[in-house]
Chains A and B, each alone.
Chain A
C-alpha cells in the first residue's frame, strides 16, 4: 500500500477540511497529518504501509478498518507513565506532538527479527503448545521445570505492547445519569430515534463512540429532505444538542448492558478538541434508562483468501471512508473484491474522490444494472464470477491473483491472471452489531437472506433499529429508528404523539445481502487468515475440526479465534462459516458464542473512577487530629484508623506500648474508644429482644446498669461481644466490637423486622453520634472526680457496671464503669462533636496523675494480661465454651443459637480451648505461632496456635493468648510456640488466661 493525500475539495476529506497540519511521530519518525485525521488515516496519507506485526507469526500488518473493530493496526501511544499499549490507530485523533510506536516487533514493525516465527509455519498451528513443551518427567517440585523454563521465553514473546511502569498520573471521572430513552449510535436510525423521542418530551441520552455524530451519514452520497445526508445529520444533531431534555455524548462508547436498563458508557473526554485541561481523561457514565434504542449499525466483514492479511488489504467501506472523510487514498491503484453490492458503491465513491480503481472482482455473476453502472462509473475493470485467490507482496501488496469462480460450487482456479494493485478493498457482507444485547443473554438468530446473525428477541426493554436490527439502507434506518423510538416511549410510560413525519430519502438503493461466500479455497497459495490479530488461519479452523474441537466454544478456545483485543468483530462469523462448511452444517447449527462486555477494551482506571486508590472510605474518630499531633502511629481497625501507640522520640512501638501499659496499671491512661459499634435499642420489648439476641440474660438488667454480653450465630458459634447498658426501662445502648459493628446491626435489624416483627423494638446505629474515651487505672476515679460534675463518682453511688449521667466541661456525658483493662476504669461518652473537648478536659484533669494516652497495642496488652477475649479469639470458629465463657450461655431461656449450640460437636473433647502461654526462657513469642511438642526441626503436629501476643510488663515476660487442643486440661504443661516463617521456636508454659488479678479485685475498688 502506498497511500497518499488526495486533493481536498467538496466531498473529499470532509473530516479534515480545515487543512491545518499536525505534526506527530511514528516509530521515531516525524510525519505531518491534518487536523481531524486519525493516526491510521494520517499514516495512510503518508504512505506508511506496515504499522504492526501480528501476535504469533510476526507478519507485517497494515490498517485494516477505519473504526473500533480494527484487528491489526495496534500501536503504543505516549511514553513513560502515560504509555498506553494496544491502541487502535484507527481511533486515535492525531494531536500536535503525538508520539506513537509500533509494538510486538524488534527493531521495528517494518523490519522485525521475530518474523523468523513464520518459518515455524505449520508447526505453530492451532494448539501446538498443548502438545509439546512437556519435557522429561522429573520428580516432585522439578516435574514441571522444563515447561516453566519454556514458559518464561513464551511469555516474553507473547503479549502485545508493554504497559507503563509508573503510577498513572491521570484522573478519571464518573457520572450517573437517568433517562427515559437511551439511544446508542447516532447514525440515521439513532438520530431519527433520538429526535423523535426528544420531540415528544422524553429525557434522551444519545451516545456514539465516534467524535462526530452522524455515523455512516457523514460519508453517504444520499439526500435526506433534499439536504446532503451529512448536512441533515449535522442539523438534527445540532437541534438535539440545543434541547434541554437531551444529552448528546460523542466520543462515548456504550460498553456494557447490565440488568434493568443499567448501562456503562465511557466518554473519551481527553479527545475533545475543546477539552478542559482540568477535566478527567475518561469519564465512566452509569446510565439508567427506562428504555433503549440500539442503533449500533453493522460491521463489514472480510473474505478469507491467501495473503488476505498483507498490508494493503482492507475492508472496502474503510477504504472508502479514508478517501471521503480523510482525503487519504488507500493506494495508488485500488482493487475491490466483494460478494455484495456495497463493494461496488465503495469503488464508485472512491473513484469520485479521485482514487484510481483498477478492478472490481465479484464472486457473483448476477449483479443488478444500477450497481453495474456504479462500477462503470469507477472506470474499473469489472470481473464478475471471479474471485481473488491471493494477494501477493510482502510489506505491501503488489498484485492480486484472480481466477474464475463458481458461486455455487465454490470452485476457483480457472483462468488465473494477475492484476497489479497496492490496495485491495474487500467486502464480505455485513454483521449487525448486537454485542450489547448478546451480553445480556439475547440469543441471535441467523438470517439466511442477509447471511448474518440478527439480535433476536429482546430480553429486556430495548429496541433495535437500523442495520443493527437487519434494516439496512437509509430509508429503512430512518423508519426503524422512528418505530423503535415509539416503542421505547411506550416502555417509558410516555404518550406517543405521532407528530413528526419521516424525512424523504433520495439515494442508492442497495441490497446488502451478500452471496454466501466466506472463503476462497485454493491450494498451494499460502496462509489464509480468519483472525488477523491472533494469526488464526482457515487451516487452523480445519485442524480444530480434525481434532474434535468442533463446538463453537472449543473452536474459539482451541484456536484462540476471536479472543484477541478485537474480540473477533471482523472474524467470528467467518470462522463459524468455515467450521460449518467443514462440518457440512448450516452456520446457525454450529452455534454462536455470547459476546461478553465490554464492547471495546476499557481503561481499568476509568472503571475504578474516583475510587482509584481510595476504594473504601477511611473513618476517623473525632480525636483523630489530636492523636496525630501527639505522635500516634495509626493503624487500620476495621474501616477505622486508630492510634497504635504514641511514640516518644526515639521510642519503638514496643517500648511505647510497654510504657503506656505500665502507666495505666500504675496511675491512669486514656484511650479513644469512639470506634466501638453503638446501637440504640428502644421500645417496650427492647429487653425481651436483647434477651433473645444475647446468650446471657438481659431481661432483668436494672436501669443504670451495664452488662457484658455474648451473641451467638444461629449455628451456635460465637458472633460478637460487648457491653450493653440499660439507660431506661425501654432503652438500651448496645456496644459491639469495632470490626463487627456493621454486621451486628444487620443481625439485629433482621431479627427485629423479619424474625420477630411482633416485638415492639426500634433500632438505630449511633456509632458515629457518640465519641468515647476509656479512662483506666487506679487513679481513674480521682481523675474523673476532678472534672465530672453532676454525678457522684463514689464507689457506692457509682458501683462497678454502673451507668450514670454527668457533665464534663459543661458537656453532657454518659459514663459507664466498665473495665477491659482489669483496672478501675470508666468509659465516657459524649456527642461526637464534643469528643475533642471532653478528651482535652480529661487530659487536663489527669495531669496531676501523669495521665497518658494509650493506643491499641497497650489496650490489647492490658486485656491479654487479663485473659479478656477480642477479635482474634472471636474468629468465627470458636464457641463460648471454647473460650471459657460457657457460663454465659443460658440454659434457662431461648436465644439466637441456643438450640444448635447444644450440638455435641460444639462441646466434644479435642476442641481448641482458650489458654495463655508464657515464654519460659524470656524469648519473644511472635504472632502467628503454633503450639507443638517437638523441637524446631521435628516439631510434630500443630496442637494449637497463638491468637494475641504481647510483652507483659506486669509479668515481665512475653505472653500470648492461644487456642489449644483441650487447652484447659493442659495448664502447667511445657510446649513450644513455633513459628517457622518467622524463624522462632520458643519454650512456653501453658497457664490460665487470667494472668493478672484473676479475682478482679482491682476493678471493684
Chain B
C-alpha cells in the first residue's frame, strides 16, 4: 500500500503510523461533556468502503496526513496535509521539492 505524503511524495505505508479514523474529533479542551468524550474515545462507525483516516509519516517528515482509503480494496483516493502546517504547503510547493515526487 502506498500513501502520498503531501510533503515527501509517495511512500510505502510502512513509513507511516496509522493513527486512526479522522472522524474521531476531540471535544474542545474546555468541554466537560462526558458523553462527548466517551463517544470520541469509544465510538467508531467502522463501515466498509471509503474511510477518512489520519496517518503519521513517522519514517519521514513526521507530519500527519489525512487519507481517504477504501477499506475493502485498500485503494487510496486522496491524501492531504493536516495540522497547522497545511497553509505553508502551497508556498513550499512553489519551491523545488527536495526528494519529492511530484508525479
Is A509 in contact with chain B by the CB < 8 A criterion? no
A570-605 vs B, Cβ < 8 Å mask (1 yes, 0 no): 000000000000000000000000000000000000
- Near A by CB (< 8 A), chain B positions 16-65 give 17, 19, 26-27, 29-34, 37-38, 40-41, 54, 56, 58, 62-64
Question: How long is the Cα–Cα vector from A53 to B34 in the complex, in angstroms?
Answer: 68
Interface-forming stretch among A2-10, A257-265, A357-365?
A: A257-265
Is A754 in contact with chain B by the CB < 8 A criterion? yes
Question: How long is the Cα–Cα vector from A894 to B27 in the complex, in angstroms?
Answer: 11
Question: How long is the Cα–Cα vector from A288 to B82 in the complex, in angstroms?
Answer: 27
Partner of B2, one of A260, A714, A894: A260
- Near B by CB (< 8 A), chain A positions 755-777 give 755-758, 760
Is B99 in contact with chain A by the CB < 8 A criterion? no
* CB-CB under 8 A for A755 and B64, given A259-B1, A714-B41, A900-B38: no
- Near A by CB (< 8 A), chain B positions 59-103 give 62-64, 73-76, 82-85, 103
Contact check, B76 vs A754: say whether CB atoms are below 8 A apart: no
Is A221 in contact with chain B by the CB < 8 A criterion? no
Contact check, B26 vs A746: say whether CB atoms are below 8 A apart: no
Partner of A754, one of B1, B62, B64: B64
Partner of A894, one of B32, B38, B74: B32
A493 to chain B, nearest CB (A): 6
Question: How long is the Cα–Cα vector from A753 to B87 in the complex, in angstroms?
Answer: 13
- Near B by CB (< 8 A), chain A positions 713-762 give 714-715, 746, 749-750, 752-758, 760
B86 to chain A, nearest CB (A): 8
Task: Report the count of interface residues on B (CB-CB < 8 A).
Answer: 32
Question: How long is the Cα–Cα vector from A760 to B83 in the complex, in angstroms?
Answer: 11
* CB-CB under 8 A for A714 and B17, given A753-B83, A757-B84: no
Q: Which residues of B contact A749 (CB under 8 A)?
A: 56, 62, 64
Question: How long is the Cα–Cα vector from A259 to B2 in the complex, in angstroms?
Answer: 7
Contact check, B17 vs A260: say whether CB atoms are below 8 A apart: no
* CB-CB under 8 A for A750 and B19, given A262-B1, A899-B32: yes
B3 to chain A, nearest CB (A): 9
A491 to chain B, nearest CB (A): 12
Which among A459, A714, A902 has the highest number of chain B CB atoms within 10 Å?
A714
Contact check, B76 vs A260: say whether CB atoms are below 8 A apart: yes
Is A61 in contact with chain B by the CB < 8 A criterion? no
Question: How long is the Cα–Cα vector from A752 to B64 in the complex, in angstroms?
Answer: 10
A260 to chain B, nearest CB (A): 4
Is A542 in contact with chain B by the CB < 8 A criterion? no
B6 to chain A, nearest CB (A): 13
Q: Which residues of B contact A755 (CB under 8 A)?
A: 26
Is A692 in contact with chain B by the CB < 8 A criterion? yes
Contact check, A750 vs B37: say whether CB atoms are below 8 A apart: no
Contact check, A714 vs B64: say whether CB atoms are below 8 A apart: no
Question: How long is the Cα–Cα vector from A1001 to B74 in the complex, in angstroms?
Answer: 60
Contact check, B12 vs A746: say whether CB atoms are below 8 A apart: no
- Give the nearest-CB partner of B1 in chain A: A259
* CB-CB under 8 A for A753 and B82, given A746-B17, A899-B31, A899-B34: yes
Question: How long is the Cα–Cα vector from A755 to B38 in the complex, in angstroms?
Answer: 16
B65 to chain A, nearest CB (A): 10
Contact check, B1 vs A894: say whether CB atoms are below 8 A apart: no
Q: Which residues of B contact A261 (CB under 8 A)?
A: 2
Q: Which residues of A contact B63 (CB under 8 A)?
A: 753
Q: Which residues of A contact B82 (CB under 8 A)?
A: 753-754, 757
Question: How long is the Cα–Cα vector from A714 to B2 in the complex, in angstroms?
Answer: 30
- Near B by CB (< 8 A), chain A positions 858-905 give 894, 899-900, 902-903
Q: Which residues of B contact A760 (CB under 8 A)?
A: 84
* CB-CB under 8 A for A714 and B84, given A259-B74, A260-B76: no
Q: Which residues of A contact B64 (CB under 8 A)?
A: 749-750, 753-754
- Give the nearest-CB partner of B27 in chain A: A899
Question: How long is the Cα–Cα vector from A754 to B88 in the complex, in angstroms?
Answer: 16
- Give the nearest-CB partner of B74 in chain A: A259
Contact check, A459 vs B73: say whether CB atoms are below 8 A apart: yes
A42-64 vs B, Cβ < 8 Å mask (1 yes, 0 no): 00000000000000000000000
A695 to chain B, nearest CB (A): 14
B84 to chain A, nearest CB (A): 4
Q: Which residues of B contact A460 (CB under 8 A)?
A: 75
Question: How long is the Cα–Cα vector from A746 to B19 in the complex, in angstroms?
Answer: 9
Q: Which residues of A contact B74 (CB under 8 A)?
A: 259-260
Q: Which residues of A contact B17 (CB under 8 A)?
A: 746
Q: Which residues of A contact B12 (CB under 8 A)?
A: 262, 288
Question: How long is the Cα–Cα vector from A758 to B74 in the complex, in angstroms?
Answer: 32
Q: Which residues of A contact B58 (CB under 8 A)?
A: 746
- Give the nearest-CB partner of A715 in chain B: B41
Question: How long is the Cα–Cα vector from A754 to B19 in the complex, in angstroms?
Answer: 10
- Give the nearest-CB partner of B20 in chain A: A750
Question: How long is the Cα–Cα vector from A688 to B32 in the complex, in angstroms?
Answer: 18
Q: Which 6 pairs of residues, A with B, have the shortest CB-CB distance?
A: A753-B83, A259-B1, A260-B2, A899-B37, A757-B84, A259-B74
Could you list 18 further interchain pairs (A-B, Cβ under 8 angstroms) beyond the known A757-B83, A760-B84, A894-B29? Answer: A259-B1, A259-B74, A260-B76, A261-B2, A262-B2, A262-B12, A493-B103, A714-B26, A746-B19, A749-B56, A750-B64, A752-B83, A753-B82, A754-B19, A754-B64, A756-B29, A899-B27, A899-B32
**Between-chain CB contacts (< 8 Å), 25 pairs:** A258-B1, A259-B74, A260-B1, A260-B2, A260-B75, A260-B76, A261-B2, A459-B73, A493-B103, A714-B37, A714-B40, A749-B62, A753-B85, A754-B64, A754-B82, A755-B26, A757-B82, A894-B30, A894-B31, A899-B27, A899-B32, A899-B34, A899-B37, A900-B41, A902-B34
